[in-house]
Structure 1
Amino acid sequence: MEYPTEKEREKIEKSFEIIGKKVPQFEKIPKAVGCPECNHTGYKGRIGIYEFFLVDEEMEIFILKQPSIEEMRKKAIEKGMIPMYQDGILKVLEGITTIEEVERVAESPFYF
């Protein structure tokens, strides 16, 4: 675990801002460090990051109005969906993975 760079801290804070949640307290985040057991990648095994949303009646009616993808995504987040990138950032703060790995597998909602 290492102290995050200013850029990493900003990514974490903006990720929570997008979903309207408060950033949990954190000091350090994981950094990939290789060893013979992980073939010098810093990673071993797999963990999923997910984006899941249950469509209720209100959302079904909203979808029937044929909103844009951006409008649908915004509505889903308002109703509690955690986007894939943000789920990955939550796992970074839990010490499970790194920001680099999240950005490798999930599209960032912002660009630096």
Structure 2
Amino acid sequence: MTGHVEILSGTKVFPSGADPFADEDAYHDLRHFTVDVTFRGPRQENGQGGWAVMNGGESHQLSRAGNWAWPERFQQHQYRWDTREEALDMARRHVDAITVNGRTWAQWQTYFAEQDAARAAAATSDA
């Protein structure tokens, strides 16, 4: 083979309504709710390779059944897709349900907006 081989090897999927370009602090928090779709190499007979859907690092992966876990090597066939499109579809279906400390990204946004409104109301009543 001559020349370079280039593979689009990873895609980040953000929750609905999220803006990863807003600012660095927002991106820092948003990364916990982000799903990565990553090429793990050619598919192998033992189930390794293919496309993985991950959150919070390479070990936390989404299974074909829709469950998040830390699969053992012998379980990897249950956590891999043959095509990027299949993996992206699964990532899109599950990204909005990821929770951190019991809340999804959307629930945290509502919580923070309520806190800001309460602080503004308290500041107005104190004035």
**The structure with more strand, counted as a fraction of residues:** 2
TM range (shorter): under 0.3
When Rg is computed on C-alpha atoms for both structures, the one with the higher figure is 2
Using structure 2 for the length normalisation, give the TM-score.
0.24
The structure, 1 or 2, with the larger RCO (C-alpha pairs under 8 Å, 6+ apart) is 1
